[in-house]
Amino acid sequence: MQFRRSINLATLALAMLFAGMSTVARAEALDGLLEVRSAYVDVKQGVFQLFARVAYPVNEDIRAALKEGLMLSFDLDVVVSRERRFWVDESVAEYTLRRELIYHAVSDRYVARDVDSGSNDQHSYSTLEEALDALGTVEAWPFLLSPQLSANRQYRVSLRAGVRRGRLSDTMRVLLFWTDDWHRESEWFSWSLQR
């Protein structure tokens, strides 16, 4: 009986050790600044277009992982909600702008693309910093139409940026099969929608 209790305590201690290592790996892998720095909406012919600047983390762990074949996904979540005075705001629309970043070893360049754009347009950058700056720039992204909003209501737009691990190379899949620590989100950035 005492032997079983010792094994259970040892198993629990080992599980707690791995959980602690997982937290350390998560903190280091995507360590750095992640925030929506600025954002606004412009309306052109009844189409709401988003302009935003996002700062993504950059460090040697990210650079090394990309060079080993890791793909990173960058999501910008947009929530449009109707402001209510005496109740919780009502969500009117939710959208996500999805982008991906990989490292191309042959050309020694970082390649970024918009996932949901419908085209296979890719842009390459010589440095990780240039690639992250481009991924953090949103210019005139159409996300909402005027008919979706009532004329006599107040609305709020909220943005949140996120970084997560995407597809893995076979080597990385073997090394990271037990963890999903490559995920981080910024705080929400919100403002009242002016029409």
pLDDT recorded at residue 13: 45
Q: Please tell me the pTM assigned to this model.
A: 0.74
Over range 126-154, report the average pLDDT: 91
pLDDT recorded at residue 121: 82
Q: How far is CA 76 from CA 28, 36, 50, 188, 190, in A?
A: 22, 9, 11, 11, 13
56, β-bridge pairs: none
Over range 59-83, report the average pLDDT: 91
Contact yes or no for 138/76 (Cβ under 8 A):
yes
Sheet strand arrangement including 47-55: 35-44, 47-55, 137-145
pLDDT recorded at residue 120: 73
8-12, 82-86, 116-120: least confident range = 8-12
pLDDT recorded at residue 183: 83
Contact yes or no for 60/85 (Cβ under 8 A):
no
Give the tens place of pLDDT for each residue, 141-193: 999 888 888 888 889 999 999 998 876 555 555 555 545 567 889 999 999 98
